[in-house]
């Protein structure tokens, strides 16, 4: 199976000279379509940095990274879908409009974009809140809308950065279920960065990151 992402000797340093902060140090790994990975580490350990590098939204300062099965995914939500720590919804758009937004940005016709968005929300039981603004949603609902937005673009790789960080236990479980179901449905690789035990109890693989060094510590499938 062709890897979605491969990286070796990957490094990311912020700043320079004595002020330089090494966020990722000599990381090596690969992600495939059926991977379900929990990226575990303390706050500031480099989880988010690694995810951004993998998503192609940031550029490494050392090493190499490639996306053999994705081409160059830089910011393309049809290739890499990202769910952030806080619901990254546009506050002035309703749930369904937020879900349709990446489609509209990529030139999908308005009618088609909204049909897809409605279907995505329905798929994860959010049809009832489709016309509500983000401020009117609970934290868990908003995070699930972000998951639905990923579902709508059917990406090949799904990344989530602390998606349960600011929501309660019940909502966190719903979000994780939604992420897994989405990954399974579209056949995407899934990486969830978190220090929440629920995450690494739920996902079969675990990568541990500490001081920017990545190690495979959990069971492999």
Partner 1 sequence: MIGLWLAGLIRHRWRRLAAAALGIALAVGLMASLGSFLAATTATMTRRASAGVAIDWQVQVDHGPAAPVLQAITADPGTRAAVPVTFAATPGFAATTQGTTQTTGAGQVLGLPAAWARTFPLAIRVLTGRLDGALVAQQTAANLQVQVGDTVRVRRAGAPPYAVRIAGVVDLQQADSLFQKVGAPPQSQLSAPPDNVLLLPPAAFAHAYGGRSGVVTQIHVRRSHSLPADPAAAYVSETGAARHLELVSGGAAVVGDNLGSVLGSAREDAAYARILFLFLGLPGAVLAALITAAVARSGAARRQREQALLRSRGATSGTLWALVLAETVLVALGGAVVGLGAAAVVGAWMFGSVGFGAGMTASVVWAGGAVVAGLLVALVSVAAPARHEIAGRAVARAGWARPRWLAYGLDLVLLAVAAALVIAAGRNQYQLVLAPEGVPSISVSYWAFLAPGLAWVGATLATWRLADLVVGPGRRLLGRLLRPVSAGLAPTAALMLSRQRSLIARSVVLLALALAFAISTATFDATYRQQAEVDAELTNGADVTVTEPPGSPASQGVVQQLRGLPGVADAEPLLHRYAYVGSDLQDLYGIDPHSISRATSLQDAYFQGGTADQLLRRLATTPDGALVSAETVNDYQLSPGDTLRLRLQDQRSGRYLRVTFTYVGIVNEFPTAPKDSFIVANSAYVAQQTKDPSVATVLVRTDTSPRQVAGHVRAVLGPGPTVGTLDQARGLVSSSLTSIDMSGLTRLELAYAVLVAGAAGGLVLALSLNERRRTVAVLTALGARRNQLARIAWAEPVVVIVMGVLAGLLTGWGMSRLLVTMLTGVFDPPPSSLAYPWTYLATVVVGAVLATAVAAHQVLRQAGRSAREALRESLT
Name the site residues for partner 1 (rule: CB under 8 A): 48, 52, 57-58, 74-77, 82, 84-86, 88-93, 97, 101-102, 104-107, 110, 133, 135, 149
Round to whole Å and give the CA distance between 98 and 138: 15
Strand-pairing partners, residue 208, are 40, 215
Looking at the Cβ atoms of 118 and 206, the one nearer to partner 1 is 118
CB of 57 to partner 1, least distance (A): 5
CB of 221 to partner 1, least distance (A): 30
Among the listed residues 153, 221, 167, the one whose alpha carbon sits nearest the alpha carbon of residue 176: 167
Round to whole Å and give the CA distance between 115 and 24: 41
CB of 150 to partner 1, least distance (A): 10
Looking at the Cβ atoms of 77 and 140, the one nearer to partner 1 is 77
Round to whole Å and give the CA distance between 166 and 143: 10
Looking at the Cβ atoms of 120 and 205, the one nearer to partner 1 is 120
CB of 1 to partner 1, least distance (A): 25
Contact 189, 34 (CB under 8 A): yes
Looking at the Cβ atoms of 58 and 118, the one nearer to partner 1 is 58
Residue 60: other Cβ atoms inside 10 A: 18
């Amino acid at each position: 199976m062709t890897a979605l992402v491969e990286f070796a000797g990957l490094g990311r340093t912020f700043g320079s000279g004595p002020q330089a902060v090494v966020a990722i140090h000599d990381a090596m790994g690969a992600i495939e379509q059926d991977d379900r990975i929990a990226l575990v580490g303390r706050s500031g350990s480099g989880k988010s940095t690694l995810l951004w590098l993998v998503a192609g939204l940031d550029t490494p300062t050392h090493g190499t990274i490639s996306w053999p099965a994705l081409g160059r995914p830089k910011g393309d939500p049809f290739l890499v879908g990202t769910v952030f720590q806080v619901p990254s919804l546009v506050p002035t758009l309703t749930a369904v409009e937020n879900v349709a937004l990446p489609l509209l940005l990529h030139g999908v016709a308005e009618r088609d974009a909204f049909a897809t968005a409605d279907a995505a929300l329905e798929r994860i039981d959010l049809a009832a809140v489709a016309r509500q603004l983000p401020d009117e949603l609970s934290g868990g609902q908003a995070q699930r809308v972000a998951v639905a937005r990923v579902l709508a673009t059917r990406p090949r790789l799904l990344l989530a950065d602390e998606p349960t960080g600011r929501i309660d236990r019940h909502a966190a479980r719903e979000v994780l279920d939604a992420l897994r179901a989405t990954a399974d449905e579209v056949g995407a690789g899934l990486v969830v960065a978190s220090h929440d035990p629920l995450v690494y109890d739920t996902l079969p693989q675990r990568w541990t990151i500490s001081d920017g060094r990545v190690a495979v510590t959990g069971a492999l499938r």
